[in-house]
């Protein structure tokens, strides 16, 4: 028997790009490289193992967790059914407390609003706390390019995001943006920034980051955050963090800008409590994150802290077109990252293989939905449909069913490719005619004879090489079950 190296040590073989695997090269190529990267795999394993174990422990200790999950789903369902009303309520409440509200159709709108604001304020330094919504629209890059004349210094202040920014890298996980970097790499990045060799210990690196970031916090003209939730009844923006940076971003600079996806709304505080109980538990295995901030408008007369100006940007960017469709559940996501941590595909590939801001099962669902299939044709197939994501999702989004619907959408739109169309027409034709099924199975047994050796198939050509390159394939049995049945069992 031929023995081969495990997949991760093996040089790859590009024959598989032909035939049945066509159309999935983007993810496949990146995934192939990721699978071969043992260091990356080790980093992912450490992070996901810790997150999953923590999550399981805190959820097991919360008997009402299944009920909360059910409630969370219902609340999101109700919110999406009347999203127009809740958005209006949110906007009215923010404006009633002298906040500014802007509805942004897409990323362009957001960039223009913030760029113009920065210009009018004469801003030089912008601090940001972690925000996937701004990653989604590549806000930093777009501001630096489109408003190059302002010479803005935009600084990420979440430690992981900052390191990613310094390294010119993108987040590979919704919650742990640089889980793909090990300590050696982080030390390199921070040492380069410091202009001196820093020791590779957490304390030294953390203390350098704290010193450097503090300068930025204190000199920032504008602070930008995302939002974990928006409470419509009061106009409250909620951020859930562990590092405390969001407090400095929202309270030190005179201007605070919130970029919030329109799906982040919940109707009221009672509903919010359901999500707050689920978010940190599902995400980091904490009962609550270290900081849960509630920001209701800018600083009011008589208040001691808070920004002088608050700008709430409610960003659509493709979300509203999902309302009322079979994909609406994709909007129920609270970005906890639990589906990434349990996903056996993500665990092998990490986030960058997905080639999009959002990775893992939720990324495979919302990227094609928000950007279109052309941008992410491969992602709906980046799943074995095992359902671990659905099981872990604190809102009960049936992610694997959404992936199936996306695959179907591609087929309906003629994007699946001729090879597959022919293959499945043939499949249908054979499987609905028992006579044809029987003839094909006999023909298969004859055809396989020259390809069989020692109870296994030799390496097969074409698309089937995708199997036999790394796995033995059993031959068809000498007699099928139906033949044995006829002979008498």
DSSP state of 5: -
Smallest separation, CB 254 to other proteins (Å) = 49
Query: Which pair of tokens denotes residue 352?
Result: 């960058």
Please list the residues that pair with 71 across neighbouring strands. none
Minimum CB distance to other proteins smaller for 200 or for 463: 463
- CA 432 to chain CA centroid, nearest Å: 40
* Residue 332 binds to other proteins (criterion: CB under 8 A): no
Q: Which residue from 51, 72, 56 is spatially nearest to 394, judged by alpha carbons?
A: 72
> Following CA atoms 147, 151, 154, 155 in sequence, which dihedral angle do they give, to the nearest 10 degrees?
170
Which positions from 263 through 302 interact with other proteins, judged by CB under 8 A?
none
Which positions from 368 through 387 interact with other proteins, judged by CB under 8 A?
380-387
Which positions from 4 through 63 interact with other proteins, judged by CB under 8 A?
4, 6-8, 12, 16, 20-21, 24, 27-28, 31-32, 35-36
* Residue 217 binds to other proteins (criterion: CB under 8 A): no
Query: Which pair of tokens denotes residue 144?
Result: 């630096």
Query: Which pair of tokens denotes residue 386?
Result: 């095992």
Q: Which stretch binds other proteins (CB under 8 A): 61-69, 187-195, 239-247, 480-488?
A: 480-488
Please provide the DSSP assignment of 261-282 as one string: EGGGEESSHHHHHHHHHHHHHH
Please list the residues that pair with 46 across neighbouring strands. none
Buried b (16+ CB within 10 A) or exposed e, 406-432: bbebbeeeeebbebbeeeeeeeeebee
Q: Which stretch binds other proteins (CB under 8 A): 125-133, 172-180, 224-232, 409-417?
A: 409-417
Task: Decide: helix, strand or coil at residue 100.
Answer: strand
* Residue 169 binds to other proteins (criterion: CB under 8 A): no
Among 200, 254, 306, 475, binds other proteins (CB under 8 A): 475
* Residue 410 binds to other proteins (criterion: CB under 8 A): yes
Q: Which stretch binds other proteins (CB under 8 A): 84-92, 241-249, 285-293, 465-473?
A: 465-473
Residue 466 in contact with residue 427, Cβ under 8 Å?
A: no
* Residue 210 binds to other proteins (criterion: CB under 8 A): no
Smallest separation, CB 63 to other proteins (Å) = 19
Separation CA 489–CA 485 (nearest Å):
6
Instruction: Using CB under 8 A, count the residues that bind other proteins.
Output: 78
User: Residue with structure tokens 């090879």?
Assistant: 419
Smallest separation, CB 209 to other proteins (Å) = 34
Among 65, 132, 252, 411, binds other proteins (CB under 8 A): 411
Smallest separation, CB 295 to other proteins (Å) = 39
Which parts of 37-106 fold into alpha helices (H)?
Answer: 38-60, 65-81, 83-96
Among 46, 308, 428, 447, binds other proteins (CB under 8 A): 428
């Amino acid at each position: 028997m031929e023995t081969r190296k495990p997949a991760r040590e093996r040089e790859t073989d590009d024959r598989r790009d032909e035939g049945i695997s066509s159309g999935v090269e983007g993810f496949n190529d990146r995934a192939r490289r990721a699978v071969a990267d043992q260091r990356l795999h080790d980093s992912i394993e450490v992070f996901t193992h810790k997150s999953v174990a923590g999550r399981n422990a805190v959820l097991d200790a919360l008997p009402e967790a299944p009920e909360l999950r059910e409630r969370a789903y219902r609340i999101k369902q109700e919110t999406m059914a009347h999203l127009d009303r809740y958005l209006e309520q949110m906007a009215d409440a923010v404006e009633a407390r002298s906040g500014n509200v802007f509805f942004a159709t897409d990323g362009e709108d957001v960039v223009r609003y913030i760029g113009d604001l920065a210009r009018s304020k004469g801003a030089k330094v912008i601090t940001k706390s972690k925000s996937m919504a701004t990653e989604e629209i590549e806000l930093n890059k777009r501001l630096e390019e489109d408003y190059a004349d302002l010479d803005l210094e935009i600084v990420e202040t979440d430690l992981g995001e900052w390191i990613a920014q310094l390294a010119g890298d993108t987040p590979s996980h919704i919650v742990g943006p640089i889980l793909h970097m090990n300590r050696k790499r982080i030390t390199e990045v921070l040492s380069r920034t410091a202009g001196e060799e820093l020791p590779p210990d957490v304390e030294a690196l953390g203390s350098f980051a704290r010193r450097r970031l503090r300068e930025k916090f204190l000199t920032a003209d504008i602070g930008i955050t995302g939002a974990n939730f928006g409470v419509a009844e009061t106009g409250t923006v909620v951020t859930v963090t562990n590092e405390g940076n969001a407090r400095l971003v929202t309270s030190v600079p005179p201007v605070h800008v919130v970029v919030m996806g329109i799906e982040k709304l919940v109707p009221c505080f009672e509903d919010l409590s359901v999500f707050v109980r689920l978010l940190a538990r599902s995400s980091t295995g904490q009962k609550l994150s270290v900081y849960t901030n509630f920001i209701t408008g800018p600083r009011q007369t008589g208040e001691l802290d808070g920004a002088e100006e608050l700008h709430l940007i409610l960003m659509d960017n493709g979300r509203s077109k999902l309302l009322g469709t079979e994909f609406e559940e994709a909007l129920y996501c609270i970005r906890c990252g639990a589906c990434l941590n349990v996903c056996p595909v993500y665990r092998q590939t990490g986030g960058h293989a997905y080639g999009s801001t959002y990775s893992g099962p939720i990324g495979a669902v919302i990227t094609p939905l928000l950007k279109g299939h052309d941008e992410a044709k491969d992602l709906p197939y980046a799943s074995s449909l095992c359902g671990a994501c659905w099981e872990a999702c604190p809102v009960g989004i049936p992610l694997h069913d959404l992936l199936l619907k996306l695959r179907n959408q591609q087929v309906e739109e003629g994007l699946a490719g001729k090879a597959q169309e022919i293959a499945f027409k043939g499949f249908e034709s054979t499987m609905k005619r028992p006579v044809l099924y029987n003839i094909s199975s006999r023909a298969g047994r004859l055809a396989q004879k020259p390809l069989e050796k020692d109870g296994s198939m030799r390496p097969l050509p074409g698309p089937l090489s995708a199997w036999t390159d790394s796995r033995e394939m059993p031959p068809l049995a000498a007699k099928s079950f139906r033949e044995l049945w006829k002979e008498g069992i």
